[in-house]
Amino acid sequence: MRRATLILVPYLWLLALFLVPFVIVLKISLSDTALAIPPYTPTLDFGAGWQGIRDFFSQLDLENFWFLSTDDLYWKAYLSSVKIAAIATFLTLLAGYPIAYGMANAPDHWRPTLMLLVILPFWTSFLIRVYSWMGILSGEGYLNQFLMWTGLISQPLTILNTPIAVYIGIVYTYLPFMILPIYAALERMDASLLEAAEDLGCSRFKAFWLITIPLSRNGIIAGCFLVFIPTIGEFVIPSLLGGSRTLMIGKVLWEEFFNNRDWPVASAVAVILLLILIVPIILFQRNEQKQREAEG
Amino acid sequence: MRRFTWFNATSLTLGFAFLYLPMVLLIIYSFNESKLVTVWAGFSTKWYGELLRNEAFLDAAWVTLQVAFVSSTIATVLGTMAAYVMVRAGRFAGRTLFSGMIYAPLVMPEVITGLSLLLLFIGIGLDRGVFTIILAHTTFSMCYVSVVVSSRLVSFDRSLEEAALDLGCSPMQAFRLVTLPIIAPAVISGWLLAFTLSLDDLVIASFTAGPSATTLPIKIWSSIRLGVSPEINALSTLMIAVVAVGVITASIVTKRAALRQQADQRAAERA
Amino acid sequence: MTQTVFEPWNDPNEKPLIQFRGVTKRFGDFTAIDNQTFDIFEREFFALLGPSGCGKTTMMRMLAGFETPTEGTILLAGQDIAPIPPNKRAVNMMFQSYALFPHLSVWDNIAFGLKRDGMARDAIGDRVAEMLKLTRLEKFARRKPHQISGGQRQRVALARSLAKAPKLLLLDEPLGALDAKLRQDTQFELMDIQEKTGTTFVIVTHDQEEAMTVASRVAVMDHGQIIQADTPARIYETPNSVYVADFIGDVTIIEGTATRDGAGYRIDFAEGQPALYAETDIALTDGQRAYLAIRPEKVSITAEKPEDKRNALRGKILDIAYLGNLSTYHVELPKGQIVRAQTANTRRLSRRSFTWEDEVWLSWTDTAAVLLER
């Protein structure tokens, strides 16, 4: 009895507020736009009994998905989301690995402090961290002021409202997600492995490639997924830093919903976004599973 | 004994400069006299004054705190239950679906979560406001809580609970008197995580908030879309300060506790 | 038939493979190795024995190249090795943790060092096969380190460090992670492999039995110094100090004042007790403090006073430790000192001659005890 309550309360909560809403999105993505409230048809009419349910299903179609595939705005938005996420993930890895490496090889009494410094930004508002770059990257921003002061440039650079600003924003906000799993992998590594490699004739650099990199592979993979997956659906960063020229699917969905009030199309966009995410999510889960098994 | 090498010291310095410089600039320029945010015109705290007189911001902050407090508390209860189910309940019908629903919100893009909840609330005719934001925040943060708590429960020595049962506790008493005190740090950090996630959330709140309720992130969003503003700099500085003080205090407290435990253990071994 | 005894350290014409010349190593204020000079010869199985923190591991890490001496030089085949980095030294090390690369198979682990030398593919294959055969690991070549047992991992580590045919192999607590039974078998296997390959082995261990079993010479260390370096038999039979006598095997130490008497010294150790006598080569001044070290198995225990021995003491049995093949009697002398005597249990337990609280006589010959200055 008690066990049943324990299971049922969170179970029902998640069913009602996670699964059911999701089914609704799927359903609306198959509906037609209408000038009504809610702005789509058909709506399910239980009063009409079986006939109502049959009518309901007969009116669902893939028209919205067809629409998405014909309008190249959506194609471009999906492709550019994946491209931006992939490039940004790679850049985050380049920035994060040396930091994780430096932390893992820091003196023992330094490590808790370094760890705190990595985690601290994670607790501060995401919105504010993205916002802080607006003042730096804008035309009369701190970066341009600095570069002009040093005499490196004479005209301000246009960085804000370009993809470069989006990359900077993603690297900046997601850096802790890259650092932490890599650090965890490097920290677990037995220092005598590197000594053994050196003893067997490796130079330091060679030992890094042959031992350190392969042994931190799981951390690298985990970090890349942790950055790549949320970045694809990212909305705040492209909206604040990317300007109108940066196309990302999270932004398209938002605009489709709030500005165009086209709920069925917005839902169809969401369904496809999820389909795109399923592959990396499954790969990520398998990587985690494998790692858990390897650790016994 | 490891020492800093030249390479490691450089990469750490550059890395942390990158992580902290933007926030430092934000804080410095929040004390700028000028309305033009990027031009320094002397020290002033006037933007803090403006901020504290701005009713709209204060109202939004109050709503946000209420939402965060209520939703994180419910999420902690539900998340701890869910963690317990995942780790201890064994097999039951629909277990795979259950664990799927626990993990999926962690990787679900916020725009989708927000959209789907909004469609639900409209579908069942629920007026959007503080209540709907609380429901939405509870749902995604309970998943984070359950991940944090279940990772602690996995390493929990089950014989402690069995000992409690053996000594005459009912299962509920065993949980309350033995399990809960031991997993308390994880439950507390789960609550804190849920609280911060709720404070921080813009996208889901935008979907689920009605005209009657505006949270602080929504308010910030609508003003920074137009560009950098000194009032927002002041607000950001306050928020960063609160978080920094909180996190640093927490880490000092845990470190002290760990040191004391070590000292006690050493003293006990000597005796 | 004459058999040459392997004792290069006694041959003045023999050139040592390794020479420590006044080597000191300091970490900050801490002196790990204190001005040590000694030699290790080719084909030797040399054991560094001591408690943890005595400096034995530092000694080994200096040979491998992971630490450099603060003062003094280490010569390998007459050449100073200080400027040679670990990856260029003809010295290989078997790590205490084995340090097997977890992402590489057994085969790849063994081939790792060979590949670094740029050896031809076929030659690597042959050499790895040879090593696998030597360590009886042929069947496990494709496995990863976590898929084999502890004993097999130990052999992979050995094969990997031997693959490059080093002039010198260093073994850091090579058997520390194995259980007692497996350790014994492996000790003999190690000796066998050392003999077959003719490599010079330097082993670091804190287990005196292990050192005594495998080594041609044992160096007993304490506080960064080698106290005595000699063959296992001489370390046991003629320790040069109380520290060595006490560290190796079981011993009773009796402290007293020495007086010259014939070929040895008379030791007065307690009022009202007969003086003890020990023959020795060392020279002491009369009245000097000295220590008598007596191994329990050299002490006889009898009911009647033996007439033929000068060293005879009367005492009461306090405790009996029954070890199966042996029994050790703890006998208390009237002034409270405890002397241990060991007898072989050649008879059934029920027919044991002595029991608790019995008054007995302990005795030993003039040459049985070792007289020590410190």
**CB C66 to CB A211 under 8 A?**
no
Confidence of residue C179 (pLDDT cuts 50, 70, 90): confident
Is C2 domain-assigned? no
Residues in B 150-169 with any Cβ partner in A closer than 8 A? none
User: By the CB < 8 Å criterion, does A200 face chain C?
Assistant: yes
Domain A70-294: assigned CATH number? 1.10.3720.10
Sign of the Cα torsion C99, C104, C108, C113 reads negative
CB A41 within 8 A of CB A280: no
Phi then psi dihedrals of residue B169, to 5 deg: -80, 150
Question: Is residue C62 located within the same domain as residue C22?
Answer: yes
CB C312 within 8 A of CB C276: no
Q: List the domain range (segments joined by +) for residue C153.
A: 100-165
Q: C254-291 burial string, b = 16+ CB within 10 Å, else e? A: bebbbbeeeebbbbebbeebebbbbbbeeebeeeeebb
Question: Is residue C73 located within the same domain as residue C215?
Answer: yes
CA distance to partner chain C, nearest, from residue A201 (Å): 4
Lowest-pLDDT range of B133-147, B191-205, C243-257, C270-284: C270-284
Is C6 domain-assigned? no
For residue A214, cis peptide bond before it (omega within 30 degrees of 0): no
Question: Is residue C260 located within the same domain as residue C355?
Answer: yes
Which residues in chain A have their CB less than 8 angstroms from residue B196's CB?
Answer: 123
**What does each C-alpha distance from A15 to A12, A25, A282, C320 come to in angstroms?**
5, 14, 21, 73
Question: Is residue C310 located within the same domain as residue C343?
Answer: yes
Residues in B 111-140 with any Cβ partner in A closer than 8 A? 111-112, 115-117, 119-120, 122-123, 135-136, 138-139
Which residues in chain A have their CB less than 8 angstroms from residue B97's CB?
Answer: 19
Domain ranges in chain A are: 70-294
Sign of the Cα torsion B207, B208, B211, B216 reads negative
pLDDT at B161 over 90: no
Between vectors from CA C229 to CA C223 and to CA C235, what angle results, nearest 5°? 105
Question: Is residue C187 located within the same domain as residue C56?
Answer: yes
pLDDT at B23: 92
Question: Bridge-partner residues for A14, per DSSP?
Answer: none
**CB C87 to CB A202 under 8 A?**
yes
Q: Return the percentage of chain C with pLDDT > 70, whole number.
A: 98
Which one-letter DSSP state was computed for residue A19?
A: I
Write down which residue in C195, C219, C249 finishes a domain.
Answer: C249
Which of C119-127's residues contact partners 24+ apart within 8 Å by CB, and which partners? C127/C163
With contact defined as 3+ CB pairs under 8 Å, the chains touching C are A
Quick one: which of C135, C103, C128, C102 has its CA closest to C113? Answer: C128
Q: What token pair was written down for B157?
A: 């020595």
pLDDT at C367 over 50: yes
Question: Is residue C158 located within the same domain as residue C295?
Answer: no
Q: Kindly report the average pLDDT of chain B as a whole number.
A: 88
**CB C101 to CB A211 under 8 A?**
yes
pLDDT at A47: 58
pLDDT at C313 over 60: yes
Q: Which residue of A has its CA nearest to B123?
A: A38
Question: Is residue C183 located within the same domain as residue C244?
Answer: yes
Q: Using beta carbons and an 8 Å cutoff, which residues of C are at the interface with A?
A: 64-66, 85-89, 91-93, 95-97, 99, 101-103, 112-113, 116-117, 146, 160-161, 164
CB A93 within 8 A of CB A222: no
The amino acid at residue C95 is: F
Domains and CATH numbers, chain B: 54-218 (1.10.3720.10)
**What does each C-alpha distance from C301 to C255, C328, C350 come to in angstroms?**
21, 10, 18
Question: Is residue C222 located within the same domain as residue C315?
Answer: no
Is C274 domain-assigned? yes
Question: Bridge-partner residues for C322, per DSSP?
Answer: C327
Write down which residue in C122, C150, C165 finishes a domain.
Answer: C165
Tens of pLDDT along B56-112? 889 999 999 999 999 999 999 999 999 988 888 778 888 889 988 988 888 888 889
Model ipTM? 0.88
Which residues in chain B have their CB less than 8 angstroms from residue A94's CB?
Answer: none
Question: Is residue C23 located within the same domain as residue C137?
Answer: no
Is C157 domain-assigned? yes
Nearest by CB to B239, from A107, A120, A125: name it.
A125
Quick one: which of B105, B110, B180 has its CA closest to A13? Answer: B105
Which residues in chain A have their CB less than 8 angstroms from residue C101's CB?
Answer: 193, 196-197, 211, 215
With contact defined as 3+ CB pairs under 8 Å, the chains touching B are A
User: By the CB < 8 Å criterion, does A190 face chain C?
Assistant: yes
Tens of pLDDT along C117-174? 888 999 999 999 999 999 999 999 999 998 899 889 999 999 999 999 999 999 999 9
pLDDT at C351: 64
The total of structural domains in chain C comes to 3
Question: Is residue C104 located within the same domain as residue C30?
Answer: no
Q: A281-293 burial string, b = 16+ CB within 10 Å, else e? A: beebeebeeebee
Q: Which residue of A has its CA nearest to C115?
A: A201
User: By the CB < 8 Å criterion, does B171 face chain A?
Assistant: yes
Confidence of residue C349 (pLDDT cuts 50, 70, 90): low
Question: Is residue C256 located within the same domain as residue C350?
Answer: yes
Task: Write out chain A's pLDDT in tens, 296 residues.
Answer: 477 888 899 999 999 999 999 888 888 888 776 555 566 666 665 555 666 666 666 667 777 777 777 777 888 889 999 999 999 999 999 999 999 999 999 998 899 899 999 988 888 889 999 999 998 998 888 898 888 888 888 888 888 889 999 999 999 999 999 999 999 999 988 889 999 999 999 988 999 999 999 999 989 999 999 999 999 989 999 999 988 888 899 888 888 888 888 888 888 888 888 888 888 888 888 888 887 777 65
CB A25 within 8 A of CB B116: yes
Question: Bridge-partner residues for C301, per DSSP?
Answer: C362
Span C250-272, mean pLDDT? 87
pLDDT at C352 over 80: no
Which residues in chain A have their CB less than 8 angstroms from residue C89's CB?
Answer: 199
CA distance C111 to C119: 10
pLDDT at A52: 62
CA distance A246 to A165: 10
CB C116 within 8 A of CB A209: no
Question: Is residue C258 located within the same domain as residue C210?
Answer: no
pLDDT at B254: 84
Which residues in chain A have their CB less than 8 angstroms from residue C95's CB?
Answer: 192, 195-196
CA distance to partner chain B, nearest, from residue A178 (Å): 12
Sign of the Cα torsion A93, A96, A98, A102 reads negative
Q: Return the percentage of chain C with pLDDT > 90, whole number.
A: 49
CB A22 within 8 A of CB B116: yes
DSSP symbols for C33-85: EEEEEEEE-TT-EEEEE-STTSSHHHHHHHHHTSS--SEEEEEETTEE-TTS-
Q: From the CB of residue B90, how many other CB atoms can be counted at a distance below 10 Å?
A: 8
CA distance C60 to C32: 12
Quick one: which of A186, A189, A182, A188 has its CA closest to A221? Answer: A182
Question: Bridge-partner residues for C332, per DSSP?
Answer: C316, C338
Quick one: which of A208, A226, A211 has its CA closest to A98? Answer: A208
Is C210 domain-assigned? yes
Tens of pLDDT along C37-62? 999 999 999 999 999 889 999 999 99
DSSP symbols for C298-354: G-EEESSPPSS-SEEEEEEEEEEEE-SSEEEEEEE-TTS-EEEEEEE--S-GGG-S-
CA distance C120 to C109: 17
Which residues in chain A have their CB less than 8 angstroms from residue C171's CB?
Answer: none
User: By the CB < 8 Å criterion, does B81 face chain A?
Assistant: yes
Q: Which residue of B has its CA nearest to A238?
A: B225
